[in-house]
Chain A
C-alpha cells in the first residue's frame, strides 16, 4: 500500500508541473500588475521601471517561472503584490476555506447517501418523486442565487423567530472573538451554516441521483436475493450488502468533485464575504498577482490529487476484491 501511494504521488508530480507552467504562463500573459501604476498620470516612468525590476517583470517568463518553482520547492511561495508573504497569507485563508469545504463535503455525503438510499429502496414513492423533482430544480439554479435567497429570507426569518441573531450572513466569525469555548463554537457555527448549505445543494443533488441509480442496480442483483434468503434483516441487506457495493462508484465521483467544491467556495465566499482562498484567487486574478494565483492553484490541485488517492484507498476498503 505504501508503494502504491508513493507511485501515485510520483505520477502526479509531472501533472502538477505541467498545470503550474500552463497557469503561470496564462497569468503572466493575461494580467499586468502595473496597470494601476500606469493609469496614474503623475507617476514617473522611472518609478514604473523600478517597480517592474523589483517584481522581476523585466525577466523572461521562463526565468520567472524557474524562480517561482525553485522557491516553492524550498517552501517559499514568494511575496504578494501587497508585500505580504504568500505562505502565511495562504495558511490563514486556507483554514477559513477548509472549514467550509470539509463541513460541506461531510454534510453532502450524509444527505446525498441518505436521500439516495431512501429513494432507491422506496422507488417511485411520493418521497422519491418529490426529491427527484427537487434535485432537478437544484441542478438548474445558480449556487450564488440560492445563497442570496437563503441569506435574505431564511436567515432573517430564523433570527427573528429565535429572538436573537443565531445565523449570520457575513464573514466567517465575529472579529476579535473572545469568550468561553462554547460561545465561540456557536459563533463559528452560526457563521458556517448558510455558506455550507449554499455549497452543498449542488453536490447533494448530483450525489443522491448517482447513488440512487447505483443502488437500484445493486438492489436487483442476485446476491441480494441470496442475502435475504439466508434470513438477514432488511436493514442489514440494504446497508451492509447493497449500500457498501453501491458506494464504490460514488467514491470516485466524490473525489472528482472535491475540486468542484473548492471552485464553488470561490463564489460562496463572495456571497457571504468570507476572507478565504476563493477571495484570494479573485483578487489575485484581478490584480495580476501571479504568486497568489499560483499558490491557490497549487493547493487546490494538490488537494484534488490527495482526494483521488483517498478515493482509491476507500475503493479497496469497500470492495475487498480490489487490491492495490
Chain B
C-alpha cells in the first residue's frame, strides 16, 4: 500500500531520467518549516505521540494486565472497565493498549528494517551497475509481482515464527523494501557521476563511505516519506495476518486478533469489535497524514501545497474585494 498512497500520475516511480528532479526535491531547504505550517499534520503527529506514550507506559500504569482475568464477564464500558470486558473477563483497555503497542512495534520495526534493506539493495545496485544491478533489480521485480499474501501466509505460519511479533515484522519487512530500493538506486545512479563523488574518491574514500555519507543524504526526503507510509501499511498487513490466525497469536494479543475475536459479538457486545478497529484506523490515519505532509514538505511543487497556496491567495483577494466594497 505504500506505493499506492504515494502514487501520483505526475511523479511516476523515479527512474534514471527523472532522477535529477528527485535530487533537487530532496535537498530543497525549509522542509521542516513547511511541515510545521500544516495544522492537520501537527495534530496527527500529536495523536501519534500520545499513542506511543500510551502504548509504552499504559500497560504499566493501568491497573489490569492484558492477560489478567477479572471476575467481570462481558460487562459494557464503565468506570472500572472503560472499554468493557470480553467473555473471559479480560479488561479491554489493557488488551487494546497491548494491541496498540504490538501494532506500533510492528510498524516501526518493518519501517526500519525494510528501509535499511531497501536502501542497501538500491545503493549496491546503483553503485556497482552492470551485472550486479541487473540481478538485484530482476530480483526486486520478482518480489514485486509475487502475490505477497501467499509468502506472508507461508512464512508467518512457519513453526517457530508463529505468534512472535518480531518474526511477523521481519516477514512483512521482507515484502516491503522494493519501493525504497528503486528510489535509492535511481538517486545513486545519477549522483555517482557527480564531481563531489569523484572528489571524495580522489581523497581515498571507499565505496561504502561514498554511498553512506556522500550520496544517501541526498535521498533523505523520499526515503523518509516512504518509510513513514510503510509504517501504516505494515500495521494493516499485520492486523490482516492476525485476523486470519497467521499473525500474532494468544496468549499475546494484537489489534487484528482482537477484531477477529470480537467479530462474532459485533452486534451483541459492540465494544469488543469497535474499539480495536477504531484504534487501527486512528493509528494508520495519523501515520498517513504525517506522511502526506512530509511529502508535501519535501516537495512543495506537489498538489497539496499548491492547493493550500491557491486557497490562501483566493482568501486574500476575497478579503481585498470585501474591504474595497466596504470603502466604496
Contact = CB atoms under 8 A, between A and B. Distances in A.
Whether A associates with B in a native complex is yes
Contacts of B236: 142
A54 interface: no
A217 B151 contact: no
A23 B9 contact: no
A141 B280 contact: yes
B147 A26 contact: no
Nearest to B157: A285
Interface stretch (A63-71, A95-103, A107-115, A263-271): A263-271
B220 interface: no
B244 A282 contact: yes
B151 A213 contact: no
Interface of A: 15, 18-19, 22-23, 26-27, 29-32, 124, 136-137, 139-145, 148-149, 151-153, 156, 206, 210, 213-214, 216-217, 246, 249, 253, 257, 259, 262-263, 266-267, 270-271, 281-282, 285-286, 288, 293, 296-297, 300-301, 304-305
Contacts of B284: 139-141
B4 interface: yes
Interface centre among B10, B12, B147, B236 (most CB of A within 10 A): B147
Given A145-B259, A152-B267, A281 B240 contact: no
8 contacts: A30-B154, A137-B285, A148-B273, A149-B277, A217-B9, A262-B147, A266-B244, A285-B154
Nearest to A288: B157
A282 B246 contact: yes
Given A253-B7, A282-B244, A304-B145, A142 B154 contact: no
Given A142-B240, A142-B256, A270-B244, A30 B159 contact: yes
A26 B311 contact: no
Nearest to B302: A213
A307 B141 CA distance: 16
B154 to A, nearest CB: 5
A319 to B, nearest CB: 13
Nearest to B287: A140
A267 B145 contact: no
Interface in B114-153: 141-142, 145-151, 153
Nearest to A263: B149
A267 B240 contact: yes
B147 A263 contact: yes
B281 A137 contact: yes
Interface string B224-252: 00000000100010011001111000000
B145 A301 contact: yes
CB-based closest 9 A-B pairs: A214-B9, A145-B277, A140-B285, A152-B266, A140-B284, A263-B149, A30-B158, A152-B267, A285-B153
Which of B9, B239, B282, B285 has most A Cβ within 10 Å?
Answer: B9
A283 to B, nearest CB: 11
Contacts of A141: 277, 280-281, 284
A259 to B, nearest CB: 5
Nearest to B147: A300
Contacts of A139: 1, 5, 284, 288
B145 A210 contact: no
Contacts of B146: 19, 22-23, 301
A218 to B, nearest CB: 9
A contact patch SS: helix
A297 B246 contact: no
B285 A23 contact: no
B155 interface: yes
B307 interface: yes
A304 B239 CA distance: 25
B303 interface: yes
A82 B154 CA distance: 19
B319 interface: no
A26 B267 CA distance: 40
Contact of A148 (B150, B266, B289): B266
Given A22-B146, A213-B10, A267 B151 contact: no
B267 A156 contact: yes
A128 to B, nearest CB: 11
Nearest to B161: A30
Contact of B239 (A142, A263, A300): A142
B273 A142 contact: no
Given A148-B266, A216-B303, A30 B157 contact: yes
Contacts of A262: 147
A99 B277 CA distance: 28
A279 B187 CA distance: 42
Contacts of B289: 136
B277 A142 contact: yes
Contacts of B151: 22-23, 26
Contacts of A140: 232, 280-282, 284-285, 288
A31 B10 contact: no
Contacts of A143: 240
A189 to B, nearest CB: 24
Nearest to B148: A263
B10 A217 contact: yes
Interface in B256-298: 256, 259-260, 263, 266-267, 273, 277, 280-282, 284-285, 288-289
Interface in B1-41: 1, 4-5, 7-10, 12
